[in-house]
Amino acid sequence: PAPASGQSVTIAPGVRWGRIPLPLDLNHINVWLVETDDGWVVVDTGMAASVGKDAWEVVEREYFSQRPLRAVFITHIHPDHIGLAKWLQDRLGVPVIMSRRTHELAHAMWSGEGQAHFDKAEQFFRSHGVTDERQIRAMFRPDRFARMTSSMPKVEQFVADEESIRWGAGEWSALETNGHAEGHLCLSNPAARVLISGDQVLPTISSNISFMFHSSDPNPLGSYLSSLQRLRALSEDTLVLPAHGVPFRGLRQRVDDLTGHHVQQLDKLAA
């Protein structure tokens, strides 16, 4: 059973499964507490909302009071993953870790660069018939991102593709898996056959693949499908720890299902 808000359960050796509520239809994000020699590293944070902060305060009382938080690892740029990184950093005095590309995107959102991109995007939308200003501004204004996050954390470590990270008794390998978000990192522990998959592989829904106006990847769907094949090469009995839904085994079957779905959709478009 999924843990209650602010609670966690052991799901794999040295890993606890926690849940932080979100003020959205997709009402939760799974966060992973990875045991270190002298505390925890938490993977992802939830969105900057009072329900998320309340849940973290419970986690702090229940777990961090006994074994302190040592770092926050962010899988990718989206607000439900990075939203409370700065808040946790300020509250508990811990470093934040992410990929360099995630940091670049976050910096663009919080600086004036995001507004410049938005102005161009607004012209693009209008030229294609999207004239409802409320719709454009509700969905794409840079300050929408800022409202869902607790501002820019200070990043003290960048993690690159295939870089090894040792936390406690476990050795994790960072796998850059683009498509859903540029700079998206999964964490694989081959010895324990565990994959923290972020939003790249979810058990019952397909990840959003979009070409955004700040993207540098001209073919995000191609990147996503390639990344899926990379993950498919992991051990067949890998335990997948996704950002939404429940942990599952059957990674290769799930990759095949997702790939087949996209191939069918592309065939429809071609036809």
The mean pLDDT of the chain is: 92
**pLDDT of 144 over the 70 cut:** no
Q: Is the pLDDT of residue 114 over 70?
A: no
pLDDT at 112 over 70: no
Residue 146 pLDDT > 80, yes or no? Answer: no
- For the full predicted model, state whether its pTM sits above 0.85: yes
Which tens digit of pLDDT belongs to each residue from 40-76?
Answer: 999 999 999 999 999 999 999 999 999 999 999 999 9
In the predicted model, what is the mean pLDDT of residues 222-249?
97
| pLDDT above 80: residue 150 | no
What proportion of the chain, given as a percentage, has pLDDT over 90? 76
Per-residue HEC secondary structure of the chain comes to: CCCCCCCEEEEECCEEEEEEECCCCCCEEEEEEEEECCEEEEECCCCCCHHHHHHHHHHHHHHHCCCCEEEEECCCCCHHHHCCHHHHHHHHCCCEEECHHHHHHHHHHHCCHHHHHHHHHHHHHHHCCCCCHHHHHHHHCHHHHHHCCCCCCCEEEECCCCCEEEECCEEEEEEECCCCCCCCEEEEECCCCEEEEECCCCCCCCCCCCCCCCCCCCCHHHHHHHHHHHHHCCCCCCEEEECCCCCECCHHHHHHHHHHHHHHHHHHHHC
Q: State yes or no: pLDDT of 171 exceeds 70.
A: yes
Q: What is the pLDDT of residues 88-106, one digit of tens each?
A: 999 999 999 999 999 998 8
Instruction: Quick: pLDDT tens for 196-208.
Output: 999 999 999 999 9
Give the residue with greater pLDDT, 256 vs 137: 256
